[in-house]
Chains A and B, each alone.
Chain A
Amino acid sequence: METTRVAATYSNVNEARSAIQRGEIYAFLYIPRNTTSDLMAQRQPSISIYYSSVVMMAGALLYRDMRIVGMLGSLSVAATKLSALGKSEGEIKSFVQPIAVDVHPVNNPGINYNVYLSTFMVPGVLMLFFFIVTVYSVGTELKFNRSREWMQLSGGNAWVAITGKLLPQFLIFFSMMAFYMLYVFGVMGFPHQGGLLRILLLAVLTVTSAEGFAVFMFCIMPSLRMSMSICSLWAVLGLSMGGATYPVFAMDGVLETLSWLFPLRHYYMIYQIAVFNGYPLSDCWIHVVILTAFSLMPLLDAHRLRKAMIEYVYIP
């Protein structure tokens, strides 16, 4: 088995169990005394698979492997018996397993787990970074008493001020995101049926939605500390609510609805539908629209920025 390695043999169950507790192994197979002779004598012996799902991935993969092994063991008994009766290989195969199940992973034949992890977790962390840095860069103007100067430079227009501030940041963030995506899809060769244009569009939307959300939050709460806290909370929760680790449909109904409020969730859906599986963007238009809406959220409250910048004083 590719995913399993027999690491050790133990003389009793207790030893094996404490090896799991020490983190040396993740599962063990218990074969009681007289298994072979019971098998020969048709006394139906039983063997046990003990597996620990405390580490999810190890538990699930080992469960699968050990089940297959157990099944093969059981089948080989029948096969030996049948071959003694003079049955051909084909006959034996169809008798011991009339229905065989073949498992095919969709679009990821090598079951490369990195494909799922790195296309969700890393953009999630980058988004967290965009959130915090955007809020920080706007908020520090207040903190270091440069806010009035900033407003003067932009002629008192909050829009000019925000655009001027975020444009260079956008270029940096976008090149980070694009560089990362080109690296995983281009160099590492992760599956991407959607093509370059969609990957870049997704990168743009990810960055703008993060910046838009961050500015919106700061304009609601022009306190550097509070808006930074909220933004990091949002981004970190987004990693759970994105649905790449624990499926959204299995959460409580309320949470299923709330997941729409997290930009990362929409990133994930667009990535899955349009990039990974290569279906047209029109199939995930709603998520594109929502990410665009996130980017435009400052339209709602940016007028408060000017007032905040001129009147508020930073309180440590």
Chain B
Amino acid sequence: MSTFLRYAKEAIHDMCYIWWMEMKNVVKDDGVLIFFVLVPLAYPLAYSWIYNNEVVHDVPVAVVDMSHSELSRQFIRMMDASSDVHTAYYCNSLAEAESLVGHQVVKGVVYLPSDFDKKIQRGEQAHVSVYCDMALMLTYKALFSTATNVSLAMNRQIQVSKLGSATQRDEEINTTPMVIEEVPIFNPTGGYGSAVLPGVLVLILQQTLLLGIGLSAGTARENNRYKDLVPVSRHYNGIFRIVTGKALCYLMIYTVMAAYDTLVIPKLFGFTQLVRGSDLIGLMLPYLLSCIFFGMMLSCLVRYRENVMLLVVFTSVPMLFLSGISWPQSSIPGFWQGVSWLIPSTFGIRGFLRISSMGGTLHDIHTEYTVLWIQSIVYFFATCLVYRYQVIKSRRHVNERLEMMRQKVRKYIVHSSSSDYGESQSR
């Protein structure tokens, strides 16, 4: 019993020592500090600034009015009066307007044919053509919904004038037999920032962790005499101690960063935030742990400190897409869904969106939460295996070196003793 206690005490002592050493390394290394502190602090600010306006207003469109009638002018006026569309150009032909779209000057064209007015007066159906540049979902939605709304409003007026209803209520029921309410939920303004940024914030946590851990592993290797990751020392004795000690250091720093990125930034920029403290902790703890162990596992691949940037920065964009944040998760091909299961950010982002932007509870993100814990455990043991291999390798290097020294010494001793012998002989 007492031996076990002594063992445990020593293990904890070593773990804390490694924790302390790693902490010192992080603070001393400005490269690691940049990724652990500066990037998670400053990057979200830059992104939030870019997407701060959230929605598009006054999307510029070109108008081609071939009808030149009162009704067509009313249509255009109503379009321009809406908050989302601004009729920036009047053109004389469709070709002229389309070239404005092609030159990225306007985002769409409203075309009113020459028989627009005539058809309505005759009691036939008139057509308005809207040409959209589909490259941007936001402008497409703004233009489409404005044109539909305007046409609905004008339709109603025309119907009322034709019907000759008895009462106002009669008019209402005849023109709108059924009311359709639109309720945008969770992202009420339909803002781009609110949709994309929470995911980016969570991804930043993972990527900076990978970068920082990789960089500090690279530094440890470069400073080590035998280019090994793990030093041979009294305290670096036992895999679990090394892994948990280092992980605790990273976890300590990232608890602060995660709180900043998931609570302060959304608050500052007014993104939808419906999260409860306990749910957030419940999600973030396995997320950070799985990121840390994922990073530590990969850090063994890093030979030189800068190589990690080649690997990690490059993967950020694909990882963001794999999480299903812009392209719906249900439309991602099966193979890529499989790949996405290996990456912590996929589940971190999905889980965070659901509890923070949509006000879900831990129960609603059961799958994400479970997978993150499984990832943490699997990557923890994988890290231990990789570190074990590293420790064995560094021991072997030291032993080889020792053996070499010993042989040198022996040779020297043999040589000097023989020369001593020779000297004494000659004497």
Q: Does A310 contact B (CB under 8 A)?
A: no
The A127-145 residues at the B interface (CB cut-off 8 A) are 128-129, 132-133, 136, 139-140, 143
Q: Which of A71, A77, A125 meets B180, CB within 8 Å? A: A71
Structural contact, A247 and B107, CB atoms closer than 8 A: yes
Bound-complex Cα distance A129 to B312 (A): 11
Evaluate whether A67 and B179 lie within 8 angstroms (CB atoms) in the complex, with A269-B104, A273-B104 already known.
no
Q: Does A95 contact B (CB under 8 A)?
A: yes
Structural contact, B125 and A100, CB atoms closer than 8 A: yes
Structural contact, B180 and A54, CB atoms closer than 8 A: no
Min distance, Cβ B377 to any Cβ of chain A, angstroms: 24
Min distance, Cβ A193 to any Cβ of chain B, angstroms: 9
Bound-complex Cα distance A292 to B325 (A): 35
Q: Which residues of B contact A277 (CB under 8 A)?
A: 101-103
Structural contact, B172 and A44, CB atoms closer than 8 A: yes
Q: Which of B53, B55, B102, B140 meets A279, CB within 8 Å? A: B102
Bound-complex Cα distance A279 to B60 (A): 20
Structural contact, A63 and B141, CB atoms closer than 8 A: yes
Structural contact, B360 and A22, CB atoms closer than 8 A: yes
Structural contact, A39 and B177, CB atoms closer than 8 A: yes
The stretch that binds A, out of B7-15, B129-137, B228-236, B292-300, is B129-137
The stretch that binds B, out of A211-219, A223-231, A301-309, is A223-231
Q: Which of B34, B140, B154, B178 meets A45, CB within 8 Å? A: B178
Min distance, Cβ B240 to any Cβ of chain A, angstroms: 29
Bound-complex Cα distance A77 to B109 (A): 32
Q: Which of B108, B154, B358 meets A54, CB within 8 Å? A: B358
Q: Which residue of A lies closest to B52 (CB)?
A: A252
Evaluate whether A124 and B358 lie within 8 angstroms (CB atoms) in the complex, with A100-B128, A108-B134 already known.
no
Q: Does A182 contact B (CB under 8 A)?
A: no
Give a binary string over B10-39; 1 marks a CB under 8 Å from any A CB, 0 the rest.
Answer: 000000000000000000000100100000
Q: Which residues of B contact A139 (CB under 8 A)?
A: 306
Q: Which residues of B contact A164 (CB under 8 A)?
A: none
Q: Does B310 contact A (CB under 8 A)?
A: yes
Q: Which of A20, A67, A105 meets B134, CB within 8 Å? A: A105
Structural contact, B140 and A133, CB atoms closer than 8 A: no
Structural contact, B222 and A316, CB atoms closer than 8 A: yes
Structural contact, A49 and B154, CB atoms closer than 8 A: no
Q: Does A244 contact B (CB under 8 A)?
A: yes
Structural contact, B155 and A98, CB atoms closer than 8 A: yes
Bound-complex Cα distance A283 to B187 (A): 39
Min distance, Cβ A113 to any Cβ of chain B, angstroms: 8
Give a binary string over B49-74; 1 marks a CB under 8 Å from any A CB, 0 the rest.
Answer: 11111011101100000000000000
The A63-82 residues at the B interface (CB cut-off 8 A) are 63-64, 67, 70-71, 73-74, 77-78
Evaluate whether A128 and B314 lie within 8 angstroms (CB atoms) in the complex, with A77-B177, A101-B151, A273-B103 already known.
yes
User: Secondary structure at chain A's binding surface: helix, strand, loop or mixed?
Assistant: helix
Q: Does B158 contact A (CB under 8 A)?
A: yes
Structural contact, B60 and A51, CB atoms closer than 8 A: no
The A99-121 residues at the B interface (CB cut-off 8 A) are 99-108, 111, 113, 116-117, 121
**Contacts A51-B185, A57-B328, A102-B127 given; 17 further ones with Cβ under 8 A?**
A17-B185, A50-B183, A54-B353, A56-B138, A59-B195, A60-B137, A98-B154, A99-B125, A101-B151, A116-B135, A233-B43, A236-B317, A237-B50, A240-B47, A273-B102, A273-B103, A283-B103
* 10 closest Cβ pairs, A-B complex: A277-B102, A46-B179, A21-B360, A70-B180, A77-B177, A53-B187, A48-B181, A232-B313, A250-B56, A94-B125
Residues on A facing B (Cβ under 8 Å): 17-18, 20-23, 26, 35, 39, 42, 44-60, 63-64, 67, 70-71, 73-74, 77-78, 90-91, 93-108, 111, 113, 116-117, 121, 124-125, 128-129, 132-133, 136, 139-140, 143, 224-225, 228-229, 232-233, 235-237, 239-241, 244-247, 249-252, 255, 269, 272-273, 276-279, 283-284, 316
Residues on B facing A (Cβ under 8 Å): 31, 34, 43, 46-47, 49-53, 55-57, 59-60, 75, 98-99, 101-104, 107-109, 119-120, 123-141, 144-145, 147-148, 151-152, 154-155, 158-159, 162, 172-174, 176-187, 190-192, 194-196, 219, 222-223, 304-306, 309-310, 313-314, 316-318, 321, 324-329, 350, 353-354, 357-360, 364-365
